[in-house]
Amino acid sequence: LTMIVDGHTGIEHTFPVEIVYDDVLQMWKPEPGRGLASVGVGYTPTLSVAYGGLSGEYWWYQHDELWKHPRLRGFVPPEVVIPRARRRMMAPDEDYNHFLCARICEQAIGLGIPVQPGGHGQMQGINTHWEIWMMTHGGMSNLEALYCGTHNGARHLGLEGDLGSIEPGKLADLIVIERGKDPAKQIRDTEAIQWTIANGRVFDAKSMAERMSDGTLGPAPQFFWMAEGYSPSRVPPAVGGCHGCGHPNACGWMRQ
């Protein structure tokens, strides 16, 4: 609350409670004609952390077999994905705190407070999708969550003149969803991306190969962990390593 009083532009991470009451909401509510207060102090809840209890990140590890996810396998080193995703802890859904914390997101947008997804070093790439999906766990509609993940994020950073929506004069930074998928109906379809367009350049989302002007794809990038003999450890190839070192000669199952 002191951040709101002091005039911060945003609150990062969740309030560690289920809901907030009128004393907080009246202080937080945007007030037209009062400078920064007319815009509102933005809320970036970072539900994958969700202060005050078991965080949302682990819910996804529990419910999805992320070590099999084709794009995580293609774009993130296996020694990052597998230690977190393969050996998972389990808990009842009611123990996960993000379901409760996400309710404040719905309260905030009802007051006109901009809410947008954040991150805190959780799983690369897919974490932004998690954040958008978890907003619906607190009562947001799919369209509200999508608005938070597009327009509100750009607005919070002061970039709404260039990003956040498809309009004449804005940068061509957007994604194209696969035919037959619709995140407005099924929120998890946000990850069914066919093309990523970055400042007008078109990339195949499955390989990150650029689509050229003649319609062909350029070469897909090769990442450092794909190099022959790469190992994140200092274990020599002739020496057996532990199950967590990621050395390709010691832990072939990580490369399968």
Tokens of 250: 């010691």
78 shares its domain with 159 = yes
pLDDT at 245: 52
pLDDT at 241: 47
Average pLDDT for 59-79: 92
113 shares its domain with 201 = no
Q: What is the number of domains present in the chain?
A: 3
119 shares its domain with 232 = no
When pLDDT is cut at 50, 70 and 90, the band that residue 24 belongs to is: confident
pLDDT at 37: 52
185 shares its domain with 82 = no
Which of 132, 165, 198 terminates a domain? The answer is: 165
158 shares its domain with 65 = yes
10 shares its domain with 85 = yes
Average pLDDT for 100-124: 89
Quick check: 249 pLDDT over 60?
no
124 shares its domain with 15 = yes
Of 32-36, 43-47, 48-52, 168-172, the range with the lowest mean pLDDT is 32-36
CA 34-40-46 angle, to 5 degrees, is 165
pLDDT at 38: 54
140 shares its domain with 200 = no
Average pLDDT for 203-226: 92
Rounded CA gap, 242 and 193, in Å?
A: 36
128 shares its domain with 205 = no
Which of 165, 182, 202 terminates a domain? The answer is: 165
Tokens of 136: 């619906």
When pLDDT is cut at 50, 70 and 90, the band that residue 19 belongs to is: confident
Closest among 220, 202, 199 to 211, alpha carbons compared: 202
Which of 165, 184, 202 terminates a domain? The answer is: 165
Quick check: 197 pLDDT over 50?
yes
pTM above 0.75, yes or no: yes
When pLDDT is cut at 50, 70 and 90, the band that residue 150 belongs to is: very high
153 shares its domain with 244 = no
Q: Helix, strand, coil shares of the chain as percentages rounded to 5?
A: 35, 10, 55
49 shares its domain with 94 = yes
Average pLDDT for 106-112: 88
Rounded CA gap, 255 and 113, in Å?
A: 45
Average pLDDT for 164-183: 94
214 shares its domain with 227 = no
CA 216, distance to chain mean position in Å, is 30
Helix (H) and strand (E) counts for the chain?
10, 5
- Structural domain including 52 reads 1-165
